[in-house]
Structure 1
Amino acid sequence: MRLLTHNMLSSNIKGVINGFPLRIEVEKVVEKPVDFNPDFLKNMFSKIEWKPLVDASRTMGYAELPEEADASMLDSHDFLQRFHHALLELHLEEGALFCPETNRRFPVNKGIPNMLLHEDEV
């Protein structure tokens, strides 16, 4: 699971008001190269919740993103490379995601998060 995906996921358990961001428990992280596309990154920047991305990348062992970012940084090739690596090349291969309110565990196996709810959670 890429951090791009993580940044878009939330817990939809019945009664949960704010199920974002999901906490990450890491068992295995892999890096998978992806072609660098600065236009894609520039378009995605405004859609990304920055603090959850930074926190998730650090949980996965990558501490190269700045604490805060703004659109002016998109002119920096170095910033775009770091953003690209965190967003698209880091993959949570094995681990879990946790709802911030209920602490409900959603397993991640072979890079695929299982977000299915139990009958009483719908």
Structure 2
Amino acid sequence: MRLLTHNMLSSNIKGVVNGFPLRIEAEKVAEKSVEMNREFLKKMFQKVHWKAFVDASRAMGYTELPEKADSSMLNSDEFLNRFHHALLELHLEEGALVCPETGRRFPVNKGIPNMLLPQEEVLLSIIIC
């Protein structure tokens, strides 16, 4: 699972008010090379919740991102390279995502997060007409 994906996930447990960001417990992290696309990075920068992104990258052992960032930094090749690496090249292969409110652990196996819940824990109810 890439940090791009992680930054868009939240806990869907019934009654949870603050299910974002999920904390990462990394057991196995892989680096997979991906060609850089500057335009994509510039668009994604506006959508990424920066603090959650930095915390997640650090949980995976990557400490090269600044605590705070703004769009003016997108003109720096060094910043773009670091952002690109963290966003797209770091992969959580094994570990867990942890709900910040309940502490519930969602396992990540072979890079795939399992966010499935038993029916009684699902936030949204399905009404069958």
Q: TM-score, normalised by structure 2?
A: 0.93
Deviation at 1:120, TM superposition (A): 1.8
What is the alpha-carbon distance in structure 1 between the residues aligned to residue 21 and residue 56 of structure 2? 9
The structure with more radius of gyration: 2
Show the counterpart of 2:51: 51
Show the counterpart of 2:68: 68
5+ residue gaps in structure 1?
Answer: none
Show the counterpart of 1:78: 78
CA deviations on 1:14-54 (whole Å, 9 max, x unpaired) are 10001000011111000000001111000100100000100
SS of equivalent to 1:115 = coil
Show the counterpart of 1:120: 120
What is the alpha-carbon distance in structure 1 between the residues aligned to residue 22 and residue 85 of structure 2? 20
Show the counterpart of 2:13: 13
CA deviations on 1:44-98 (whole Å, 9 max, x unpaired) are 0010000010000011000000000000000001100000000000000000001
Deviation at 1:13, TM superposition (A): 0.6
Percent identity among equivalent residues?
78
Q: Which runs of 4+ in 1 moved over 2 A?
A: none
Show the counterpart of 1:22: 22
Q: CA RMSD in A?
A: 0.5
What is the alpha-carbon distance in structure 2 between the residues aligned to residue 61 and residue 105 of structure 1? 20
